[in-house]
Amino acid sequence: MRRREFLGGITCLSGLSLAKTAGLRLDQLTSSTASLAGMTMLESLRKIRELGFGGAEIITFSGQKHSLGPLAGVVKADMSKQEADKLLSEVKRLGHVSTHLPFHGLRPANQDRAARKSTLDLLHRAIDDSGFLGARVATVHAAPEPNMTYEQIWPDLLAVFRELGDHAAKYKIRLAIETMAPNTVKQYLAMIREINHDFVGGCVDTGHTRWYRADIGIEDSERATARGAKRYNDILMEKVEGLGPKLFHFHFDDVRPADWREHRTLGTGLVDWERLLRHLAKVGYSGTFAVELEETPVVEALVKSRLFYQKVLREIM
């Protein structure tokens, strides 16, 4: 998509950008820096702002990549004071700031005390870095333990997230546990409820409903059918509605119908965006949506996703 076309789209909807639209706002749409693989952190933040997003979700770990290339991350201890000051200056130009805490290979309920401490030390460090960045919400994962059920690690898991919630509360950061694990709606919602911490809630990734196979209850051959799409969206909405006031954050990405590959450009897959956004407008959701894509060309995918979000808001007015 050409820059002129993008700017034209913004101009057509400029009235929308200044008003509260059906209970939702354009500035609630942010972008994850993970959507811009191959760029430095400063390049990512500048591009996100240039494209008109309301803010950014910043990765607080380094040395990782996805299918499109390496991901820039923030680890303050690895930065000079000059680098940290320059980064913070750029971050302060954003409207909304969230972070994604480390998750690769981490086991917060590890039964080995030394191994669990290593995981928790990394997560506590990332919370400190999130505080430095001025984040208001931080996404975290509740990873399973190999060869153990969630019932077996349940008390340890709850204790870990209460501890992390206490730390995040010092910065007034809300921890949002991302949907994926536990991978049944009942167990995921029970975990959030039983942690019972003011600063711990949920982050719904619209592409991660694919992991809730038992709840969806269809065969792989039905994925690309109308029934497959309906079951997918029904379970997505079950999580959204079940979280209620504990719904702190979103990762927005679409899902390819043929194979349910997530992290696709908004509006190109099976997610029922109108149904989701109408519900969020009705209940007065005031959090943010971080577009989290793994699709190329990376800038064009973000531009198309933002314009699609604008289009849906316009239609549900």
245 prior amide bond cis, ω within 30: no
Interval 15-55: pLDDT, tens: 343 334 448 999 999 999 999 999 999 999 999 999 999 99
Whole-number percent of the chain with pLDDT over 90: 89
155 prior amide bond cis, ω within 30: no
Amino acid at residue number 247: L
**What is the chain's mean pLDDT, rounded?**
93
Domain ranges in the chain are 21-315
Closest CA to 101 of 67, 79, 75: 75
Q: What is the 3-state secondary structure (H, E, C) of the chain?
A: CCHHHHHHHHHHCHHHHCCCECCECHHHEEEEHHHHCCCCHHHHHHHHHHCCCCEEEEECCCCEEECCEEECCCCHHHCCHHHHHHHHHHHCCCCEEEEECCCCCCCCCCCCHHHHHHHHHHHHHHHHHHHHHCCCEEEECCCCCCCCCHHHHHHHHHHHHHHHHHHHHCCCCEEEEECCCCCCHHHHHHHHHHHCCCCEEEEEECCHHHHCHHHHCCCHHHCCCHHHHHHHHHHHHHHHHHHHHHEEEEEECECCCCCCCCCECCCCCCCCHHHHHHHHHHHCCCCEEEECCCCCCHHHHHHHHHHHHHHHHHHCC
Closest CA to 292 of 230, 224, 208, 233: 208
Confidence of residue 86 (pLDDT cuts 50, 70, 90): very high
CATH 3.30.300.30 fits 21-315, yes or no: no
Q: Tokens in use for 6?
A: 């993008």
* Biggest CA-to-CA distance, the chain: 57
pLDDT score of 3: 46
pLDDT score of 1: 43
**In this structure, what is the dihedral angle of CA atoms 108, 88, 43, 120, given to the nearest 10 degrees?**
-10
pLDDT score of 140: 98
187, pLDDT greater than 50: yes
72, pLDDT greater than 80: yes
Q: Is 89 exposed, middle or buried (0-12, 13-18, 19+ CB in 10 A)?
A: exposed
pLDDT score of 105: 85
178, pLDDT greater than 80: yes
163, pLDDT greater than 70: yes
pLDDT score of 118: 94
What CA–CA distance (Å, rounded) separates 271 from 294? 16
Cα angle 286, 99, 144 (rounded to 5 degrees) comes to: 100
Interval 119-162: pLDDT, tens: 999 999 999 999 999 999 999 999 999 999 999 999 999 999 99
Identify the weakest region by mean pLDDT among 14-18, 58-62, 103-107, 276-280: 14-18
Name the range with the highest mean pLDDT among 60-69, 91-100, 101-110. 91-100
Confidence of residue 317 (pLDDT cuts 50, 70, 90): low
